[in-house]
Amino acid sequence: MEVNSSPLALTVSQDAYRRANEEVWSTKTKFDWYLRRNRVRLVKAGAMVMVGGAWRIHVAAFDAEAMSIAREDAARWLDREAGKAAA
């Protein structure tokens, strides 16, 4: 049996990715909102690609970019909290 080494073989459907990460995105609605909010950035990072008119997720790239987005969101939250404490 030959293993498919195509880069497209490293992608999964949006639904498959969300189901594999239900602890983070418990509902399709939450995941869809995240994708809408971050689609441009995810595409530019190679985390989302369109194949045959359907969006697919490159798992490793998506995980890395999602962590980067999460770190930035956390830093913004800390900045807001620091601003509240200083006021």
Residue ranges making up the domain that contains 70: 10-86
pLDDT tens digit string along 34-68?
999 999 999 999 999 999 999 999 999 999 999 99
Label residue 3 by pLDDT band (50, 70, 90): low
Least Cα distance to 60 among 7, 24, 2 occurs for 7
User: Which residues make Cβ contacts (< 8 Å) with residue 49, sequence separation at least 6?
Assistant: 8, 11, 43, 55, 56, 58
- Specify if 5 maps to a domain: no
**Is position 21 within any domain?**
yes
Does 1 map to a domain?
no
Q: Say if 53 falls within a structural domain.
A: yes
**Once rounded to an integer, what is the mean pLDDT over residues 23-34?**
96
What pTM, to 2 d.p., does this model score? 0.84
Residue 58 domain flag: yes
Q: How many domains is the chain built from?
A: 1
Question: How high is the pLDDT of residue 1?
Answer: 45
Considering the domain boundaries, does residue 23 fall inside one? yes
Residue 2 lies in a domain: no
